[in-house]
Structure 1
Amino acid sequence: MSDPIAVIGLAARLPDAANPEEFWTNLVAGRNSIHRLSVEDLLGAGADPEEIRRPGYVRARPLLDDPWGLDRGYFGLSERECVVRNPQHRLLLELCSSALQNAGQVPGHHDVIGLYAGCAEDRYAEDHLRADPELYPLVGETGVTLANNADYLTSFVSYRLGLTGPSIPVRTACSSSLVAVHMGAQALRAGECDIALAGGVEIEMPYGLGYRHVRGGVESSDGVCRPLDAAADGTVFGSGGGVVVLKRLDEALADGDTVWGLIRGSAVNNDGAQRATFTSPSVEGQRRVIAEALAVADVDPAGVSYVELHGTATQVGDPVEIQGLKDALSALADGEPAARSCVVGSVKSNIGHLGPAAGVAGLIKTLLALNHEALPPVAGFRTPNPLLELEKTPFRVADRLLEWPRSPKRPRLAGVSSFGFGGTNAHVVVEEGPESRSPLGARRGTGPGEADQDAAESQLLLWSACDEGAESTVRRYLAAALGGSGHRLADAAFTTQVGRRALPVRAALRARTVKQAVDTLADPAAAVTARGDGTALPVTLVFPGTSETRQGATDWIAGLRERHAGFATAVDECLGHFGGADERAAALFAAEYALGRMLLDWGVRPARIVGRGAGALLAATALGTKELAEAVRSLSAGAGTGPVGGAAARQPCVSPAPGNDMGSGAPSLWVVCGAVGTASAPWQEYGEDGAGQRAVGLLPHSGDEDPWDTVLDALAHVWAHGTDVAWEALPRLGTPGRVPLPHYPYARRPYMVPRGAERTGGGS
């Protein structure tokens, strides 16, 4: 038995579906997303007027919304690189980014991430770039090759996203993306990476055209794909793509990841020579790959209740597939009638055949079905193909939306098949994941009110964008997701902290319940923001000295001691160096020390550290120029009465003295290890003019405020103004998990050189 592999994230852009949620809506509705093309559509796409009038020309194709588009600002690409870069490479880049966001993973933080993916051969380089008399001489053959050859598909994505694991292009024709899933799972089991991305893309080139039907060929005569149906006469090739994120199950559970489902086992083989032609399918080859995947999974074949077929709707392919599947699952024939029923379907009835992306589209459909506990219908299915002889098999076609509920007896199992021209076959055995880590969660059907019931403390939600317009969109998407998901606020907040890139325009808000968060997100003024060009406001860490710490702070300090073990430890460490000093003064000195230590331990790297009076001694300890014991002795002896600042020995700080990188008057965010009063600002103690200065305290100023809320508010300002925080280091009540939240709202622009036309776009 192989170790289970968890699918912890996914992304899809498919015909009539910009994301998996829209895809599921279309599947449930039995929607046919193979577009009917008008003469105007075809001529606009560059079709030959004579060709489209010929008999047998089929005006249909599954199309992808915005096939040329990319958000170059988000991905850091020049305009020329976008124009030259193959559209399939661009699509995979966006899908990998979206899938990682869905999984709450940021490349480069901890894990080694690998990528396995395939794409189709296309003519973008030949028809669009080499044919352009202005652009091609500027780019050159090497530039065109590097931007279009399938060899560079995955390495381009790995370069742009910072993926450091294996980066392997997979080229097995129509089985490419499911072979990629198999390879990713194998790499995880072998320890070659900690996370693996797997999938595939295809953008048909030339794009937006129909095709000529050939009698006896694999393409449908009328532009409809009818898997398993008596009227089936071929498939329809189209555009789209999908990616899944894989991780070893034990690590996924330990890390609190969402689990869409499990890859229990998988197998890949080739039909070899035992078939009529190079492109003919083989019953024996398909039987062997399915049987091997089941053996690797070490599951009872009688437990497989659904199989997502390759299902090309060809007169040869479908009967061969059903026979191979029947032979592989022959153990079903010995079961009781109730245990012998296995539903079969094919997503090609909805979106056509996406070539290298076909297998991952079927896998994503199956994962969605497991989590929604329903099996979508085969779109347009009417009458079973008699050549399948389904009455002699345990299979029945999903001719309507079927319930597929969890059972306390055993987990639901499914199979996903994908077979490519040339005979490379792949099969994956999929099992439902633990309900507690499902994307729908154990709180299925709950609303914000019910999710709020376990809110024990305030949480800090973060979001960011490339510009202010996108920031407002991210905020709206986040509010909508929180309002309808049933996620715990602690999980959602943790995901926004550790599962998203920090972009230049940042915002944050503190909330105690989901409802409060949703309501507050509706008010842009309620969030902590740093408007403008996204330039960071560096942090000045201030130790005000015990004389400037409010007398009522002792209660808040006690609250923080109880809440944060690290804070309590730092306080006790400091107090341990005191002898007969004034007890209150010692406690306040220790609290300031612990507040500063806490902030530094959370990864906040101030640009400078300053202090006055007793605070000067603490600044020296934070700078590494004085040991804590020495600072306590100096305090007891009455020393330490002047402002302190200077180059750090152990912290990357800059002296506030004039003439250095951050001199007097430079704009700064002053983070005070104490309370910030209303009568004066901390920078006034250091000769600053106050221009562009802001201050936040780590202790409340007055009233019955929760001291932890004050700490979170300070962190919100620190992060929103551009200083990163090691969010994983924050103390939390319980263990939060990562939950699926909306991915970034890409601001796509089309980048394309028309076929055989003059150069458009370009530049740098």
Structure 2
Amino acid sequence: MIPEPIAIVGIGCRFPGGVHSPVSFWNLLQNGRDAITEIPSDRWNVNKFYHPDPVEPGKMYSRWGGFLDRIDQFDAKFFGISSAEAARIDPQQRLLLETAWESLEDAGLVPEHLAGSDTGVFIGVLNRDYSYIQMDERNRDAINAHTIVSSNLNLVPNRISYCFDFTGPSLPIDAGCASSLVAVHFACSSLWNGECSLALAGGVNVIFKPEVSIAMSKAFLLSADGRCKSFDAAADGFVRAEGVGVVVLKPLSHAIADGDAIYATIRSSAVSQNGRGSSFTAPEALAQQAVMQKAYQRTGILPQQVQYVETQGSGSPMGDEIEAKAIGAVIGSDRSLGNECAIGSVKTNIGHMEAAAGIGGLIKAALAVSHRQIPPNLHFQTPNPKIPWEELRLRVPQFLEPLINKDNQPPIVSVNGFGLGGTNVHVILQGVESLPIDTAIANQPQIFLTSARSPEALKAFAKAYIEFFTAQDNAAISLADICYTTSLRRSHHSYRLAMVVDSKKQLVEHLVAFLAQESRPSMFSGYIEQHKNSRVEENPGTECAQMLNSLAERYTLEDSIDWNAIYPHGGCFVRLPSYPWQRQRYWQESEASRQDRLGESNNVEASSVVGSKIAEQIDIVEQWSVAVNSQRTDLLSTYIQAQIIQALECEPVQLDVQKPLNSMGIDSLMAVSLRNHIVTNLKIELPIEQFIASPSIAELAQACHEQLILKNLIPTIQIANVVEEIEELTL
């Protein structure tokens, strides 16, 4: 039985070269940009670890790589994560949280609506650099409970599932360089088997330490000039790179019914292992051929229908030859001259992203199908003479080429991958025909909405929308589709902006006025602390501007509107700018480790553990025993606040004693630690369940007070100004 195609409905990605979205990635690809740079100074001191002689002990012979920007920054507040935990979370997890959100926005899926769903998460990951930094013997004093929880690779997908409240399979995949493409295979299998109805699949790779690059240098795997020259005679290895990519997958029938925008469909995939081949680490041509044949047999597509293969293509002379011959034996067979299959590799643009390499190739292939173009393969000057190109019916595209329908069918492309250790994977993609768009009548009033989780993010969103709406590439997007998307296909956060406009020109003018803090008719902004569901009893129609103004104002003041009543016949989803993250630096590393990596000292404390003064041991029981009864609960409340501030490693502030602990960033691990500190210092008994249930500070203080009374403690010493002394610790 041929499986139902799986639709790729959303993409989130961060790749070298400043790529932060599918749009910027496609711009890099179609323009043939090379994103490789010298190793940044915040990764390691390249002069300290570089030597042109490959056999030089402790040195690497490459100075190059593909790197992400602002790798140490994260919007922890958006995800409700404390500073203490954020600093210890592997940046791979942090990158994936943001990218997963972006992929869902790109798909027009509201994350809050997916809470509790059987959505699956499948992530390729293998790098442990930050874990090694955290577990370094010079960093022992800074290790806490979050260190182990935040560094285990199995928790990379699990954190996404937890933060978004997904209940489907949540699996890390380590298959070497094939990891993220294998993750896509298992995501599709899970959808086909009914284990989940929606899936996020992808991979991540970040590079902080030089040791792996040194090891790769000793194995002569790296390109000396830092360029992947895939299938070229001058190929001499790959260049390491960072990256993160996530695709949102669902059955094609569901995507069509939901009105999703579809990049491409996955028709089939297959995974295999070399077994006992010629070498434990070398690729095997016959094994690659077998996995390709299995993938095509499952879907009924003929290999000869494939127009392009996104290859592993890492620039290894032997690996390129073996892969090309395997592709030629399966996909190049029974082709006539002039009907060659194009092959290429995204590694020539952005380097080898290791665990994220496969998802980078898959996203490139999906974008190629969506845009009906094949991007050029860089650094290809002289074809590898060991590859019989004409016989294999293969070629390497050197310019942007059209990707056309054949036999009245959308184009078919495939993605090939293999990993160190023998894993092989092959994924087949096909385009979809564009559905006719019902263009809305122009110059009708529409409600435009945007929202964020902070005032700064709301302003950043307004700026992003202005740039988006004034870009020539987006001129064809209708106002009605924009407003439908912001109403029903985006999250609604607490800080809100709404306006009733009748043209994109007026929309831009209103956004500019908002940033200038100028008022405009039919423009409203406000803050909603708790969302309420309200009904719109009747469809106001697009001509009732007064009703639209009323709804816009209500949206920013008190209500969460049922926007389905405004759009009873649905609408056309369009992709809009993603959430503007408000990132801060979170990093935890000993100064000795930092100096070893970077070869320099740092005047700024590398590991900022706030609250050392609060950590001073104070006999709170004696202080409570001599305080007047009216002050005892306040004393305990101030003491608990100090303990929480120390646990969160945040700046001393006055906490809201009525809010539950989890709203402050206290998770179960912190709650257990907090409980242990309190019961030890106060010498009382409080059940751990009481802390896990996330009470408020006031409730905890009252519980502690009652327990101390039960102990029938009698004042034994006098301590003056008890409350004032403790309160000073939180100022």
- With structure 2 as the length reference, what TM-score do the two structures score? 0.74
**d(CA) in 2 for partners of 1:126, 1:176:** 21
Q: Note if 1:243 corresponds to 2:246.
A: yes
Cα distance in 1, alignment partners of residues 523 and 365 from structure 2:
41
SS in 1 for 2:148: helix
Contact 1:45 1:209 (C-alpha < 8 Å) held by counterparts: no
* TM-superposed deviation, 1:135: 5.2
The higher radius of gyration belongs to: 1
Structure 2 CA distance for aligned equivalents of residues 54 and 364 of structure 1: 35
Match for residue 426 of structure 1? 425
What is the letter of the counterpart of residue 500 of structure 1? R
Distance 1:724 1:422, change over 3 A: same
Partner Cα distance (1:388, 1:336) in 2: 18
Q: CA deviation at 1:327?
A: 1.7
Cα distance in structure 2, aligned partners of 1:359 and 1:30: 19
Q: How does 1:203-222 map to 2 (within 5 A)?
A: 203-206=206-209, 211=214, 214=217, 217-222=220-225
Choose the corresponding residue for 2:320, options 314, 318, 321.
318
Tell me the secondary structure at the aligned position of residue 387 of structure 1: coil
More deviation, 750-759/116-125: 750-759
* Distance in 1 (alpha carbons) for counterparts of 2:38 and 2:462: 37
- What residue in structure 1 maps to residue 462 of structure 2? 475
Measured at CA, do residues 124 and 716 of structure 1 come closer, stay the same or move farther in structure 2, by a change above 3 Å?
same
Quick one: distance in 1 between partners of 2:216 and 2:352?
15
| Letter paired with 2:288 | Q
Provide closer, same or farther for how the CA distance between residues 378 and 109 of structure 1 changes in structure 2, counting only shifts above 3 A: same
Which range moves more in the overlay, 482-491 or 151-160? Answer: 482-491
For this pair of structures, how many residues does the alignment match?
581
CA separation in 2, counterparts of 1:749 and 1:408? Answer: 52
Tell me the distance in 2 between the aligned counterparts of 1:168 and 1:209: 25
Q: Which of 252, 258, 261 is 1:258 aligned to?
A: 261
> What whole-Å deviation, never above 9, does each CA across 1:694-720 have from its counterpart, x for those lacking one?
xxxx8xxxxxx9763333222222222
1:105–1:498: 8 Å Cα contact kept in structure 2?
no
Distance 1:321 1:49 in 2: 35
Structure 2 distance, partners of 1:707, 1:399, is 53
- Matched residue, 2:636: none
Matching residue's letter, 2:263: W
Amino acid at match of 2:113: H
| Residue from 474, 484, 487 that aligns with 1:497 | 487
Residue type of the partner of 1:751? Y
CA deviation profile, 1:6-54 (whole Å, cap 9, x unmatched): 10010110001122222222222222212124xxx55x54448553246
Q: Structure 1 CA distance, aligned partners of 2:320 and 2:549?
A: 61
1:521 aligns with 2:511: yes
Paired residue type of 1:418: G
Q: Choose from 486, 492, 509 the match for 2:499.
A: 509
The equivalent residue for 1:694 is: none
Q: 1:735 — aligned with what?
A: 570
Q: Does structure 2 conserve the Cα–Cα contact (< 8 Å) formed by 1:103 and 1:257?
A: yes
Change (3 A) 1:73 1:197: same
> What is the distance in 2 between the residues matched to 1:30 and 1:167?
36
Q: Which residue of the partner structure matches residue 720 of structure 1?
A: 556
Does the C-alpha gap of structure 1 residues 194 and 155 become closer, same or farther in structure 2, counting only changes over 3 Å?
same
- Inter-CA distance 248–238: structure 2 relative to 1 (3 Å threshold): same
Does the 8 A contact of 2:75 with 2:581 survive in 1? yes
Q: Match for 1:178 among 178, 181, 187?
A: 181
Deviation at 1:336, TM superposition (A): 4.1
* One-letter identity of the residue aligned with 2:353: L
Tell me by how many angstroms 1:480 deviates.
3.4
Q: 1:291 to 1:82 in 2, by over 3 A?
A: same
Report the Cα distance in structure 2 between the residues aligned to 1:409 and 1:315, rounded to whole angstroms: 38
Structure 2 Cα separation of the partners of residues 713 and 135 of structure 1: 58
The alignment yields a C-alpha RMSD, in angstroms, of 2.7
Amino acid at match of 2:264: G
What's the offset of the Cα at 1:759? 4.7
Q: Which amino acid aligns with 1:3?
A: E
Post-superposition offset of 1:600: 6.3
- What do residues 189-234 of structure 1 show as CA deviations (whole Å, max 9, x unaligned)? 2222221100000001317996476476322232221101100011
Mapped partners of 2:567, 2:499: distance in 1: 18
Cα distance, 1:96 vs structure 2: 0.5
Aligned counterpart in structure 1 of residue 134 of structure 2, from 128, 131, 136: 128
State the distance in 1 between where 2:64 and 2:211 align. Answer: 9
2:172 is equivalent to residue 169 of structure 1: yes
In 2, the alpha carbon distance for the partners of 1:383 and 1:363 equals 26
Aligned to 2:111: 107
Distance 2:344 2:465 in 1: 34
- In the alignment, the residues of structure 1 paired with residue 565 and residue 549 of structure 2 have an alpha-carbon distance, to the nearest angstrom, of 17
Retained in 2: the 8 A contact 1:119–1:201?
Answer: yes
| Residue 165 to residue 62, structure 1, CA distance change in 2 (3 Å) | same
Where 1:523 maps in the other structure, the secondary structure is: helix
CA distance in structure 2 between the aligned counterparts of 1:73 and 1:309, rounded to whole angstroms = 39
Instruction: Spell out the pairing of 1:9-28 with structure 2 (5 A cutoff).
Output: 9-16=10-17, 17-28=19-30
- Give the residue type in structure 2 aligned to 1:121: N
C-alpha deviation, 1:88, in angstroms: 0.7
- Cα distance in 2 for partners of 1:171, 1:21 equals 28
Deviates more, 1:229-238 or 1:189-198: 189-198
Tell me what 1:80 maps to.
Answer: 84
SS of residue paired to 1:173: coil
CA deviation profile, 1:121-158 (whole Å, cap 9, x unmatched)? 31312323544547534x14xx3221010111111111
The runs of 5 or more residues in structure 2 that have no matched partner are: 55-60, 595-604, 610-648, 651-731
For 2:211 and 2:557, the matched residues in 1 are separated by 46
CA contact (8 A) 2:328 2:392 kept: yes
> Is the 1:390–1:396 contact (alpha carbons within 8 Å) kept by the matching residues of 2?
yes
Is 2:6–2:251's contact at 8 Å kept on the other side of the alignment? yes
2:278 aligned with 1:269, yes or no?
Answer: no
The 2-side partners of 1:538 and 1:181 are apart by 38
Task: Report whether the alignment pairs 1:187 with 2:196.
Answer: no
Aligned pairs for 1:448-467 within 5 A: 454-455=441-442, 457-467=444-454
Q: CA deviation at 1:172?
A: 1.1
Q: Report matched runs for 1:593-612 at 5 Å.
A: 599=536
Question: 1:534 deviation in Å?
Answer: 4.8
Counterpart position of 1:761: 608
Using the TM superposition, give the Cα deviation of residue 337 of structure 1 relative to its aligned residue in structure 2, in angstroms: 3.5
Partner residue, 1:2 = 3
* Secondary structure at 1:197 match in 2: strand
Tell me how far apart the structure 1 counterparts of residues 524 and 26 of structure 2 sit (CA, whole Å).
Answer: 36
**Paired residue secondary structure (2:574):** coil
Letter of the structure 1 residue corresponding to residue 126 of structure 2: A
Aligned pairs for 1:44-123 (under 5 A) are 45-47=43-45, 51-53=49-51, 55-56=53-54, 57-109=61-113, 111-123=117-129
**Retained in 1: the 8 A contact 2:487–2:563?**
yes
Equivalent pairs: percent with the same residue? 31
SS at match of 1:115: strand
Does structure 2 conserve the Cα–Cα contact (< 8 Å) formed by 1:130 and 1:136? no
Larger mean Cα displacement after TM superposition, 392-401 or 722-731: 722-731
Instruction: Tell me which residue corresponds to 2:581.
Output: 746
SS in 1 for 2:544: helix
Gaps of 5+ in 1: 444-450, 540-595, 603-697, 699-704
Q: Secondary structure at the match of 1:184?
A: helix
1:709 aligns with 2:709: no
Is the CA contact (8 Å cut-off) linking 1:61 and 1:208 kept in structure 2? Answer: no
Superimposed CA distance per residue, residues 386-423 of structure 1 (whole angstroms, 9 cap, x where no aligned partner) = 11111211111011222224467221000001111111
The Cα offsets for residues 618-673 of structure 1, whole Å up to 9 and x where unpaired, read as: xxxxxxxxxxxxxxxxxxxxxxxxxxxxxxxxxxxxxxxxxxxxxxxxxxxxxxxx
* Pair 1:386 & 2:385 matched: yes
1:555 alignment counterpart: none
Amino acid aligned to 1:99: S
Paired residue type of 2:53 = P
Judged with a 3 Å threshold, the aligned counterparts in structure 2 of structure 1 residues 283 and 134 are, in CA distance, closer, same or farther, namely closer
Pairing 1:334-345 to 2, within 5 Å after superposition: 335-338=335-338, 340-345=339-344
The alignment partner of 1:316 has SS state of: helix
